[in-house]
């Protein structure tokens, strides 16, 4: 079961028991040393924060909200969907309207920053004293930020993991009346070597760090792109991964042909010079595996 369906089940738990959910962006399947029950899950496809957050905040899957990557076509231009205006309807606000006492701790990158549901999170220590609530959802993005720039397993990454583990152990002791879950949106794979994706037949690619979409037939893309570090998905492969045929909206906003980076590689676009050491969006187990922890 993918992570959004798992989260729906966990959130439903909040109607019966106080629930704290901590989303550690970019953690994926990296093992935490904490006393907890674990369950394996997997990311959505594409495995990116953008796709996950839109699915979380709209309570819809990608084929329903039509966000498949950070960069999307908007007429003749390319736009960053994470920089657009707030969502007109937010899932956590809807839960609040239904009578659930909800608080969403987020960052400057959160899709919904509207009070009274939203509060800015500057430190995990803010969670040690929580008001009387049914559901607290926490979006913590520092692990992701460090992983992109320094790499999974770097000293900076390890230090932040240790800080997170210590905080979680303290939270378990402090918040006795809460069910506490730790989840993630995706993992990361090394992407030090970058492949420049050019305009092909007048079409500029869109997508993210390790995935790209073209509005050009599969046969034309395979003729133009022959780098050993990338894989062009055949139409049947894409349908199998999606579990359905690409929608009309997906083809119009992104494209019908998908290019995925292999391990060790990432993409650069004509409008985006990607310099991350680790990235996500592709099909590797490092990007797609997620561990759910119940403390």
The CATH code belonging to domain 3-187+287-294 is 3.40.720.10
Q: 3.40.50.2300, 3.30.1360.180, 3.30.420.110, 3.40.50.720: which CATH number matches 189-279?
A: 3.30.1360.180
Per-residue tens of pLDDT for the chain, all 295 residues: 899 999 999 999 999 999 999 999 999 999 999 999 999 999 999 999 999 999 999 999 999 999 999 999 988 899 998 876 567 778 999 999 999 999 999 887 677 667 688 988 988 889 998 888 999 999 999 999 999 999 998 999 999 999 999 999 999 999 999 999 999 999 999 999 999 999 999 999 999 999 999 999 999 999 999 999 999 999 999 999 999 999 999 999 999 999 999 999 999 999 999 999 999 999 999 999 999 999 9
pTM: 0.95
User: Residue 274: is it exposed, middle or buried by C-beta count within 10 angstroms (0-12/13-18/19+)?
Assistant: middle
Q: Strand pairing of 135-140 and 19-24?
A: parallel
Token output for 146:
């460090």
Q: How many Cα atoms occupy the beta-carbon half-sphere of 139 within 13 Å?
A: 22
Token output for 134:
């049914």
Position 40 scores a pLDDT of 97
CATH 3.40.720.10 residue ranges of the chain are 3-187+287-294
Position 84 scores a pLDDT of 66
Position 89 scores a pLDDT of 78
Q: What Å distances lie between residue 243 and 62, 225, 274, CA to CA?
A: 12, 26, 30
Calpha distance 53→197 (Å, rounded): 26
CATH 3.30.1360.180 residue ranges of the chain are 189-279
């Amino acid at each position: 079961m993918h992570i959004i369906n798992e989260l729906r089940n966990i959130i439903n738990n909040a109607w019966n028991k106080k629930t704290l959910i901590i989303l550690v962006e970019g953690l994926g399947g990296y093992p935490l040393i904490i006393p907890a029950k674990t369950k394996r899950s997997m990311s959505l496809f594409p495995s990116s924060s953008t796709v996950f957050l839109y699915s979380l905040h709209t309570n819809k899957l990608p084929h329903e909200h039509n966000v498949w990557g950070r960069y999307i076509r908007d007429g003749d231009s390319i736009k960053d969907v994470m920089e657009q205006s707030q969502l007109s309807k937010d899932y956590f606000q809807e839960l609040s309207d239904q009578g659930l006492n909800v608080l969403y701790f987020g960052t400057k990158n959160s899709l919904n920053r509207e009070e009274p549901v939203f509060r800015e999170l500057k430190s995990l220590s803010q969670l040690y004293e929580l008001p009387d609530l049914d559901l607290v959802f926490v979006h913590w993005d520092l692990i992701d930020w460090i992983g992109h720039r320094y790499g999974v397993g770097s000293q900076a990454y390890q230090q932040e993991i240790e800080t997170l583990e210590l905080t979680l152990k303290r939270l378990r002791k402090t918040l006795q009346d809460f069910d506490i879950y730790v989840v993630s949106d995706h993992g990361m794979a090394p992407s030090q070597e970058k492949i420049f994706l050019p305009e092909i037949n007048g079409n500029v690619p869109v997508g993210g760090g390790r995935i790209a979409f073209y509005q050009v037939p599969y046969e034309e893309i395979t003729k133009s792109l022959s780098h050993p570090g990338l894989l062009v998905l055949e139409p049947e492969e894409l349908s199998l991964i999606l579990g359905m045929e690409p929608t009309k909206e997906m083809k119009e906003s992104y494209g019908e042909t998908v290019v995925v980076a292999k391990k060790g590689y990432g993409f650069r676009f004509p409008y985006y010079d990607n310099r991350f050491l680790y990235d996500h969006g592709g099909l590797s187990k490092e990007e797609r595996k997620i561990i759910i922890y119940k403390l």
